[in-house]
Structure 1
Amino acid sequence: MTKRRNEWLDWIKALIVAAILAIVIRVFLFAPIVVDGPSMLPTLENGDHMIVNKFSYLVGEPSRFDIVVFHATETKDYIKRVIGLPGDHIEYKDDTLYVNGDPIEEPFLQERLDRLSENQSYTFDFRLQDIKGNYKTIPENHVLVLGDNRNNSTDSRMLGLIPIDRIVGETRFIYWPMERFGFVD
């Protein structure tokens, strides 16, 4: 009888430890998210299931072109790409990103840009000053984010600059559907 009781206690302990580990991992390290909508096409598709790395920004800062998940509202998280960092002046002119006056390539958009006719624009011209807040440069602890599908994305052009403390984490790994399994550039 005692042996059977000890086995049950061992199983209960193991399950409690596993549950605690799962909660710690989910809350502090990694979380699943599902892409909702077309705002990150062609990079991410509606329904892509991804893993959010929450740990990356506990020890570091976002980098230009990171794909991040952030709290857009109390109940809704968005997935967008970091375009502008603290201290940057951002401008788009003729589908070219300028950071502090220097043109910067966006290789993840090249396929879409190549398909445009001469009189079409993929990213409408704007300057940082055109965004809510009328900033000359992005202030400390904020980033400017855009969706890769520039004509169909609710991003910093509408939401304003995103405080870094609202960023949940970085996402680069699709685990479902299986035909899209892998890392995203």
Structure 2
Amino acid sequence: MKWLSWHALEEVIKGCLWSIPITITFCDVIGTVAKVEGYSMSPTVNPKAGTNVDLVWVDRISLLFKDIRRGEVVVLACPYNKNRKLIKRVVALEGDHIWSRTESRLTYIPLGHCWVEGDEGDKSTDSNQLGPIPQALIEGRVSFIIWPWKRWGRIPQVPQGSSENRLIPSKVV
């Protein structure tokens, strides 16, 4: 009987030793579920104050195959706090010019950078305060709302309050 207990424990340990690295690799390379807190991306994500937080799917692998495009919602490492993640919409890409929301200044987006904003501009810390963000900080695309069920579906790629009147796109797309 003791052999059976030891054998069962040994199988559980072997299973963990295989599943933990596979799970970590999946989350680092393929994608993961993320909890969204705050209202800077309202109404796209967390549309109502005081409600439960949204859960979203963060697609990491597509960054290897497709360039970031204007209008996409992305997860990025916070430029001023490496332990924090931000969810923002890409508004401008390298080579573009954009008028900031706050200071009405025209900003050129340098090579390897992008301009990100929250959909709820007055509640968002974004490129309007931080300037162009290195694209290397982008960790994935937010592609689906998973929870709550009643809002399950794709994230819209076109911002609710479009920034087209502030954007001067580069000739090369």
For normalisation by structure 2, the TM-score amounts to 0.74
CA contact (8 A) 2:96 2:109 kept: yes
Q: Which amino acid aligns with 1:27?
A: D
Post-superposition shift, 1:19?
A: 2.1
Match of 1:49 among 51, 55, 76: 55
User: Partners of 2:151 and 2:41 in 1: how far apart?
Assistant: 15
Output the CA distance in 1 between the equivalents of 2:137 and 2:66: 15
Q: Does 1:145 align with 2:146?
A: no
Matches within 5 A, 1:15-164: 15-45=16-46, 47-72=53-78, 73-91=81-99, 126-129=104-107, 137-164=108-135
Corresponding residue pairs, total: 147
- Residue 171 of structure 2 is matched in structure 1 by none
Aligned-residue identity in percent: 34
Runs of 4+ in 1 over 3 A off after TM superposition: 3-15
Distance 1:128 1:13 in 2: 58
What CA RMSD, in Å, does the superposition of the two structures yield over aligned residues? 2.4
**CA contact under 8 A between 2:112 and 2:135: conserved in structure 1?**
yes
Query: Does residue 180 of the first structure (1) align with residue 158 of the second (2)?
Result: no
Kept in 1, the 8 Å contact 2:102–2:128? The answer is no
Check the 8 A contact 2:34/2:57 in 1, yes or no: yes
Structure 2 runs not aligned, ≥5 long = 48-52, 157-173
What SS class does the counterpart of residue 158 from structure 1 fall into? helix
Structure 1 gap ranges (5+): 93-122, 130-136
- CA shift at 1:127, angstroms? 3.7
Q: Secondary structure at the match of 1:151?
A: helix
Q: Deviations over 1:42-98 (max 9, x none)?
A: 111161111211112123321001100111121111100000001111237xxxxxx
Relative distance call for 1:124 and 1:7 in structure 2 (3 A) is closer
Corresponding residue for 2:164? none
2 CA distance for matches of 1:13 and 1:74?
A: 34
Task: For 2:119 and 2:12, locate their aligned partners in 1 and report how far apart those are by CA, in whole Å.
Answer: 48
SS in 1 for 2:122: coil
